[in-house]
């Protein structure tokens, strides 16, 4: 099967490759995650109970508080971070956290990224160009 | 991004490694949001509790604190959001001393950078309110939405490392709510429902926040008949920001950038979405429980103003909290001192309540606190808190302050 390519706005952080974990839901590291165990912990989240460590996490928009800006750095220090984050719309906190923590981040795609990529897809993210390759 | 001579010098490392790293990070964020240049900011406000920082974040701050004074001092007035431990009262709530020790390390490192440890998320009520048009780097969503909306100051959400970067460089990338075009209303809500207390103001804010599709959406509200108080708008804005990642609202006839609908929308007024009491009933119902079990009642998120503490002291006077329920309150250090001086603290504490300072409930390892104290069922008048605390393993109930107090006294959720 040939690779599919999606284009977002130029992002932040280094290139990354991994398996996609996708939901049509939103994201806040403080509100949604048990960061010690590396799983979604908010019962109402569509990825509740799922492990995100090392995954290319694909969600709709950034929600909630400011804590995520520190949390990516802390999660990365324990190698308990996602491999990259793809959102339809990031907010400043996610961008600041990605810049500080070195987590690849791309947003603003030509379609709804939560529909274009499926859980289990093998994905390569190039933040410098905003290009996402699904193979 | 266009850089001034001073910004170029910072980027080249001429002003030290700390400012170089700070402006490098700011340029990444600026490019991400297509900022053309930087804007000077008058204040920075840093969210940096140790639950978010972790050991890695504290190590980072200590490395920064160990650098030469010429390199690491903040260059604009810089204050802090609530911290992760009350150093004087942590034992009252069985807070793990290991977390408190980590918090003390962070506190010491921040002081070494020239940062004023205000430890508050109500700095707009207690420290220095901004003025219209002033550019800021505010680091708490509730502070951002209040400063943007109620004062018509200009700030984006600046997470801890970003607010610290702004403190070191004295500027922030000019994007988002620093720009006129992003401050125009995008959604119109008309409320037939009139909030009567802080839980209802929070619920209304939360209801609107839930419907926001991105950070750049600016809701405009009409229909409020009586001018709200600062505390009303504090709960309204904090909940909207928490549920919606929203940084600015306009309330027509109330907030300064919305003298009328046409101005709020720069002429293009969309159709209004009506909010009725049924919507708010459903909102409250989503934070109700099938049984009346109760473990802890919390007043926090945002920290309480002096007027809220006064109200609470009046309700708690000559009351005793039930043995099997805890009542935890969080305010700022300034308001704690004032409450002591004015005799409010005595009335609150005599009931068995714990009045913490410089912290917020969800910013001090709420999961571990819950486990240490056996707290699962939580009752509060803060819509912001009910939104956050579910992720920490709690079952939150939203109710007015009076009902929360009556329940804390009864030892069960009372109708």
pLDDT band at B404 (very low <50, low <70, confident <90, very high): very high
Instruction: Enumerate residues 6+ apart whose C-beta is below 8 A from B1.
Output: B27, B30, B31, B35, B36, B37, B38, B173
Give me the residue from B53, B215, B216 closest to A70, CB to CB.
B53
The pLDDT of residue A1: 58
Phi-psi region of B343 (alpha: psi -120 to 50; beta: other; left: phi over 0): left
At residue A106, the pLDDT reads 98
Contacts of A93 in chain B (CB under 8 A): 157, 159, 162
Q: Delimit the domains of chain A by residue range.
A: 4-134
- Does the pLDDT at position B213 exceed 90? no
Write out pLDDT tens, residues B347-363: 999 999 999 999 999 99
Task: Tell me if A77 and B243 make a contact (CB, 8 A cut-off).
Answer: no
The secondary element (H helix, E strand) that includes residue B123 is helix B123-126
Confidence of residue A2 (pLDDT cuts 50, 70, 90): confident
Which of B8, B3, B6, B76 minimizes the C-alpha distance to B43? Answer: B76
Give the span between the Cα atoms of A54 and A36, in whole angstroms: 14
**Pairwise CA distance, residues A41 & A64, whole Å:** 15
Provide, rounded to the nearest whole percent, the portion of chain B with pLDDT above 70. Answer: 100
- Residue B281 pLDDT greater than 80, yes or no: yes
Residues B153, B225: Cα–Cα separation, whole Å: 25
Neighbouring residues of B2: CB distance < 8 A, sequence distance ≥ 6: B36, B37
Contact state of A69 with B31 under an 8 Å Cβ cutoff: no
Which of A27, A34, A92, A102 has the highest number of chain B CBs within 10 A, making it the mutation to test binding with B? A92
Could you say which of A11, A63, A78 has the minimum Cβ distance to residue B32? A11
Answer yes or no: do B33 and A43 touch at CB < 8 A: no
Residue contact B32–A12, C-beta within 8 A? yes
**Domains contained in chain B, CATH given:** 5-179 (3.30.499.10), 184-285 (no CATH), 296-410 (3.30.499.10)
Mean pLDDT of B173-182: 98
Q: Which pLDDT score, from 0 to 100, does residue A11 have? A: 98
B141 to chain A: nearest residue by CA?
A65
CA B29 – CA B169 distance, rounded (Å): 14
> Closest Cα of chain B to A79: distance in Å?
12
DSSP letter for A13, please.
S
Mean local confidence (pLDDT), B280-302 = 97
**Average pLDDT, integer, range B89-96:** 96
Which residue has 């990224």 as its token pair?
A: A113
Average pLDDT over residues B220-225: 97
A24, A33, A48, A63: best to mutate for the B interface, most B CBs within 10 A: A63
Residue A63 pLDDT level (bands cut at 50, 70, 90): confident
Closest residue by Cα to residue B157 from B220, B238, B51, B52: B238
Fold entry, domain A4-134: Glucose Oxidase; domain 1 (3.50.30)
Q: SS3 for B162-212, per residue?
A: HHHHHHHHCEEECCHHHCHHHHCCCEEEEECCCCCCHHHHHHHHHHHHHCC
CA–CA separation, A24 and A52 (whole Å) = 15
List CB contacts of B318: < 8 A, sequence separation 6 or more. Answer: none
Share of chain B above pLDDT 90, in %: 97
Q: Which residue of A has its CA nearest to B162?
A: A96
For chain B, the average pLDDT equals 97
Test mutation, B23, B32, B121, B144, chain A, max A CBs within 10 A: B32
Taking CB atoms and an 8 Å cutoff, what residues of chain B touch A34? 367
- Quickly list H helices, B250-342: 261-264, 277-285, 306-316, 333-341
In the predicted model, is pLDDT for residue B307 greater than 80?
yes
**What 3-state DSSP class applies to B44?**
strand
At A73 the pLDDT is: 94
Q: Which two tokens stand for residue B102?
A: 């980590």
What is the per-residue burial (b if ≥16 Cβ within 10 Å, else e) of A51-89?
Answer: ebbbbbbbbbbbbbbbbbbbbbbbbbbeebbbbbbbbbb
**Of A131, A114, A129, nearest to A21 (Cα)?**
A114
Shortest CB distance from A74 goes to which of B53, B367, B388?
B53
Find the farthest-apart pair of alpha carbons in chain B and give their distance in angstroms, rounded: 65
d(CA A38, CA A24): 19
Q: CA of A53, closest CA in chain B: separation in Å?
A: 17
């Amino acid at each position: 099967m040939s690779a599919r390519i999606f284009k977002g706005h130029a992002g932040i952080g280094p290139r990354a490759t991994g398996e996609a974990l996708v939901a049509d839901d939103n994201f806040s590291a403080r509100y949604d995650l048990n960061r010690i165990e590396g799983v979604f912990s908010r019962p109402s989240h569509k990825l509740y109970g799922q492990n995100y460590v090392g995954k290319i996490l694909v969600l709709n928009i950034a929600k909630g508080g400011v804590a995520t800006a520190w949390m990516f750095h802390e999660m990365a220090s324990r190698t308990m971070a996602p491999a990259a984050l793809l959102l339809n719309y990031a907010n400043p906190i996610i961008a600041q956290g990605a810049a500080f923590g070195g987590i690849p981040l791309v947003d603003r795609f030509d379609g709804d990224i939560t529909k274009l990529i499926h859980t289990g897809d093998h994905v390569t993210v190039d933040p410098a160009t905003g290009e996402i390759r699904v193979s | 991004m266009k850089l001034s001579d001073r910004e170029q010098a910072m980027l080249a490392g001429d002003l030290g490694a700390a400012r170089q790293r700070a402006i490098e990070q700011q340029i990444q964020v600026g490019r991400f949001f297509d900022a053309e240049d930087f804007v000077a900011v008058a204040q920075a406000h840093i969210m940096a509790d140790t639950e978010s920082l972790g050991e890695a974040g504290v190590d980072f701050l200590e490395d920064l604190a160990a650098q030469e004074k010429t390199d690491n001092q903040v260059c604009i007035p810089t204050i802090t959001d609530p911290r992760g431990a009350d150093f004087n009262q942590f034992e009252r709530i069985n807070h793990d001393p290991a977390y408190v020790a980590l918090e003390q390390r962070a506190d010491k490192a921040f002081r070494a950078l020239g940062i004023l440890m205000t430890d508050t998320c109500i700095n707009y009520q207690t420290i220095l309110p901004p003025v219209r048009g002033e550019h800021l780097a505010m680091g708490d969503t509730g502070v951002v939405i209040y400063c943007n909306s109620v004062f018509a100051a200009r700030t984006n959400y600046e997470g801890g490392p970003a607010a610290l970067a702004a403190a070191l460089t004295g500027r922030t990338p000019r994007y988002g709510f620093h720009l006129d075009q992003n401050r125009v209303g995008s959604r119109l809500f008309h409320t037939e429902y009139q909030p009567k207390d802080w839980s209802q103001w929070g619920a209304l804010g939360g209801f609107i926040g839930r419907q926001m599709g991105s950070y750049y959406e600016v809701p405009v509200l009409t229909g409020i008949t009586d001018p709200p108080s600062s505390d009303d708008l504090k709960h309204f804005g904090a909940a909207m920001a928490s549920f919606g990642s929203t940084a600015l609202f306009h309330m027509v006839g109330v907030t300064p950038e919305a003298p009328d609908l046409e101005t709020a929308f720069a002429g293009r007024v969309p159709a209004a979405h009506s909010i009725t009491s049924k919507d708010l009933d459903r909102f409250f119902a989503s934070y109700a429980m099938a049984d009346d079990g109760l473990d802890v009642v919390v007043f926090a998120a945002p920290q309480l103003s002096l007027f809220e503490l006064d109200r609470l002291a009046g309700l708690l006077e000559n009351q005793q909290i039930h043995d099997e329920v805890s009542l935890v309150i969080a305010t700022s250090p300034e308001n704690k001192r004032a409450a002591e001086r004015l005799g409010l603290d005595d009335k609150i504490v005599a009931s068995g309540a714990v009045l913490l300072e410089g912290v917020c409930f969800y910013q001090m390892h709420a999961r571990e606190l819950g486990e240490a104290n056996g707290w699962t069922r939580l009752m509060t008048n803060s819509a912001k808190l009910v939104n956050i605390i579910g992720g920490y393993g709690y079952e939150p109930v939203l109710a007015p302050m009076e009902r929360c107090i009556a329940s804390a006294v009864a030892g069960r959720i009372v109708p």
